Amino acid sequence: MWKKYFKIIGIKPGVIIYPRPFGRIDFRSDNLDINLLKNLVEDDRNLPYLVITEAGIDHFYDDETDDDNKGDIKGNDETIKEYTAKELISLIKKSETIADAFMYLNRGHNFASVEKAYAKRFYELNQGS
């Protein structure tokens, strides 16, 4: 089931020893905990070899009707700037690098739709690398 939501890249299916709290994960198994894998791909340390699929993005990041909500977040120039979820999604879609997309994600963590857009863009950029 996990293989529908996640994909391994850069290695053949097998054992990877991840740092704490994840530990040993055998990707040959069909019975891995999808919530553990979600935590792994979301880990701030950018742990390698596992990415989320588009089906995983759809499954984990539900669309919410928050497009009209506004974020009260700092802009690059340190002045307070408000972005709508729609604006952030647009900026993430246009991002050329994961770092750029991540910057906009940081401005909209409170929006599920922004997280979904980031996860999708992250997947796309990883596919291209």
Partner 1 sequence: MLFGLIIERTMAGLGLIQCLDLFETTYASGQDNTGGLTQAWYYAYAEDILTWPTYVSKDSATTPEQLMNYAGNFIMKPTKQFFEGYLTWGTGELKWDAQGPMDCKSSKHTFEISRPSASANILAFIDLIKNANLVIICRDKDGDYRVIGSEFLAAKYDTDAGTTGKTGEDYKGDVITFMSELESAPKFYPGVIPVTPAS
Which residues contact partner 1 by CB under 8 A?
10-20, 27, 45, 47-49
Pair 117, 61: CB distance under 8 Å: no
Tokens found for residue 60: 């984990």
Strand, helix or coil for residue 95? coil
Q: Which residue has the tokens 């990877």?
A: 16
In the complex, least distance from residue 21 CB atom to partner 1, rounded to whole angstroms: 10
Contact present, 89 and 71 (Cβ < 8 Å): no
Comparing CA positions, the residue from 47, 55, 59, 51 lying closest to residue 126 is: 51
Query: What is the nearest approach in angstroms of partner 1 to the Cβ of residue 96?
Result: 23
Nearer to partner 1, 10 or 78 (CB): 10
Closest approach, Cβ 88 to partner 1, in A, equals: 29
Distance CA 74, CA 97 (A): 20
**Closest CB to partner 1 among residues 24, 96:** 24
What minimum distance in Å lies between the beta carbon of 47 and partner 1?
Answer: 6
Residue number, 52 or 92, with CB nearest to partner 1: 52
* Nearer CB in complex with partner 1: 11/55: 11
Q: How far apart are the first and last CA of the chain?
A: 26
